Amino acid sequence: MQTNSPIAGCRQSSLAIKGGKPVRNNWLPYGHQVVDDEDIAAVTAALTSDFLTQGPRIQEFENAVAAHVGVKYAVAIANGTAALHAAYEAAGISAGDEIITTPITFAATSNAALYLGAKPLYADVDPDTGLISAASVEKLLKENRAAGNKKIKAVVAVDYAGQPTDYDTLQALADQYEVSLMIDAAHSLGARYKERAGGFAGIMSTMSFHPVKTITTGEGGIILTNDEKLYDRLLAFRSHGIEKRRERLQKDDGPWYHEMQSLGFNYRMCDIQAALGSSQMVKLPGFIERRLQIAAAYTAALKDSDTYGVTTTGGDRQSAYHLFPILIKGENAGEKRRFVFEALHKENIGVQVHYIPTYQMPYYKEQVLDRDWSALCPGAEDFYKREISLPIFPSMKEQDIADVLEALTKIAGELA
């Protein structure tokens, strides 16, 4: 593979941020969808069919994702945020309740609890992986139980960057403390956990199909479960709380008759999106294979770097590599990270930071939270200070990988 190792291939060109020539002339984004002619044909077929929404393509897509992950039921929904909202509601989370979750995630993981009048408590993360720390979850459950707090209803772990969290340990804790476990698997469709697919544990998991994720439907999401009662509740919540199945109605006023039996939303995915999703599911193994190749090239090039560390869950877990996070090593990581980030952008390498801890968001600080979680989450603070996500998506070329590594090399040279 033609990649320039930041260790071996140090070319002494000046940095673009200091007026030098960038490693590339066009912008390389950190993530990008791959949509081909087959996807376009699938969407066109949906567009010219009788059903643009509420048609057969929804269930086809649901079946494809459920089969891949190995669960009984799937409910396709408008986006990953709606998936979280639906899952929390179906899990019975309501006003005054609390969930334990991670701060190293997109705001939606916590926001969905707020939609229901519930509140997040934050477990710390492992500063090497960004994944929720089971030990920190246990500490929170134990302390709160000892203090007589009965408001905690669920632990919501996030498969950050595509790495499955420690499902078995978290499940054991959930069982011990009698709370539900849910997984925000927005990043992990295509991951592996032990002998099975990643992206599911506990009572429900949710996914997002935003264009930078491992497959896309434009906007879209899904909730996965093995529980029929939850499945029924999710179906109702997705569509106004309306029940149409005759055997479930309270009366029979005629063939038109349906009942709104609970309060729901219009959170439906449409058939155009589902058609794209089913077509993308066929390509998922190939997408993941390419993501793994890119991750392997980055890992090989960076593993002995003094400047950049890589995150690895390793062992019996395989990331879907939605993201490829690197961690700036050493002292003054915050300042160095800012410099590396800005310098990479000037080299036309579109990196991002995932994530600003949710508890640092002004809305949370000023209007939601009653304590300073930054003092309680040193792992998350450290991870946020050091993290940068490198470009990774299936259509990246060898030259793109080489450009990223060359830019990292130039910048490391400057920092040394």
Ligand X SMILES: Cc1ncc(COP(=O)(O)O)c(C=O)c1O
| Binding-site ranges for ligand X (CB under 6 A) | 79-81, 105-106, 108-109, 158, 184, 186-187, 208, 210, 221
3-class DSSP state of 210: coil
Cβ atoms of 80 and 210 within 8 Å: the answer is yes
| Residue number with the smallest Cβ distance to ligand X | 80
Residue in 163, 160, 221, 168 with CA at minimum distance from that of residue 191 = 163
In this complex, which beta carbon is closest to ligand X, that of residue 216 or of residue 409?
A: 216
In this complex, which beta carbon is closest to ligand X, that of residue 68 or of residue 213?
A: 213
Please state the closest distance from residue 249 (CB atom) to ligand X, in A.
33
Q: How far apart are CA 343 and CA 363, in angstroms?
A: 30
In this complex, which beta carbon is closest to ligand X, that of residue 66 or of residue 212?
A: 212
In this complex, which beta carbon is closest to ligand X, that of residue 80 or of residue 198?
A: 80
Please state the closest distance from residue 107 (CB atom) to ligand X, in A.
8
Measure Cα distances from 93 to 117, 141, 240 in Å.
9, 17, 18
Q: How far apart are CA 364 and CA 358, in angstroms?
A: 7
In this complex, which beta carbon is closest to ligand X, that of residue 183 or of residue 405?
A: 183
User: Taking the mean position of all CA atoms in its chain, how far away is CA 165?
Assistant: 12
At 336, give phi and psi (nearest 5°): -65, -40
Strand 98-101 and strand 152-158: the pairing is parallel
Radius of gyration of the chain (CA): 22
Please state the closest distance from residue 58 (CB atom) to ligand X, in A.
17
Q: Is the dihedral of CA 390, 400, 163, 88 positive or negative?
A: positive
User: Taking the mean position of all CA atoms in its chain, how far away is CA 272?
Assistant: 23
Please state the closest distance from residue 321 (CB atom) to ligand X, in A.
14
Please state the closest distance from residue 78 (CB atom) to ligand X, in A.
8
In this complex, which beta carbon is closest to ligand X, that of residue 106 or of residue 384?
A: 106
Please state the closest distance from residue 223 (CB atom) to ligand X, in A.
12
